[in-house]
Amino acid sequence: MELTHCRVVVLISGSGSNLQALIDASIASNYKVIGVISNNPEAYGLQRAEREAIPAYVVNHRAFPNREEFDEALRQEIDAIDPDLVVLAGFMRILGSAFVQHFSAGILNIHPSLLPKYPGVNTHQRALDAGDEEHGVSVHFVTEDLDGGPVVAQERVPVLPGDDAETLAARVLEKEHLVYPKVVSWFASGRLRMQEGQALLDGEPLPASGLDIQAP
């Protein structure tokens, strides 16, 4: 009997290193990346998809007069692929309410901070400026609140003497590549769900900060 994999579409805007981590991990996992969509026609991640023989699409946000029309075109592209899960991996566009509601409980995002700290951009420099002793990454469900959906899991890294935003970002990125495939696999297996605005793992509500895990 053939194993049924969770069908995943990944949205990207740039280099696609998390996309590559998801693709690599999927070989021995329970999900399959069946499509990659970028709002940026120059995104290197599109080449990664093509090398892996994964269909790649561009929905260029600059071709639309407003966010609503872009969101609608993106929604139509995703619906045509018909995934079980939408995964944001360095997707640098804010998605509107109608889009999020359409894919309710089926969108994951990865964010380079220990949410609720530092939603938005420049997270590494903000952690340094605040004098934080630790920093990290969060995987969360996407809701209408920017980087405000229920957190599933977090990985922490120390802030070391002499760190700048670049060195700290590199340390966090290593954790991103480990934790994201793990969380996607939880969803693919049916263990992870969002219900009534709360993340559930094995039917149990997760704490507000998600699981503090050490990815293998």
- Among this protein's residues, is 111 annotated catalytic? yes
Give the Cα separation of 120 and 194 in Å (integer): 22
200, 141 contact by CB (below 8 A): no
Give the Cα separation of 20 and 173 in Å (integer): 12
Q: Which residues pair with 56 in a beta bridge?
A: 36
Identify the active-site residue in 111, 124, 135, 177.
Answer: 111
The residues near 48 (Cβ < 8 Å, ≥ 6 apart) are: 16, 19, 20, 23, 36
Name the nearest CA neighbour of 179 among 192, 196, 197, 160. 192
**Residue ranges in the chain assigned as alpha helix (H):** 17-26, 44-51, 67-81, 97-102, 123-129, 165-188
- For the chain, report the end-to-end CA distance as a whole number of angstroms: 29
Which residues are the active-site residues? Answer: 111
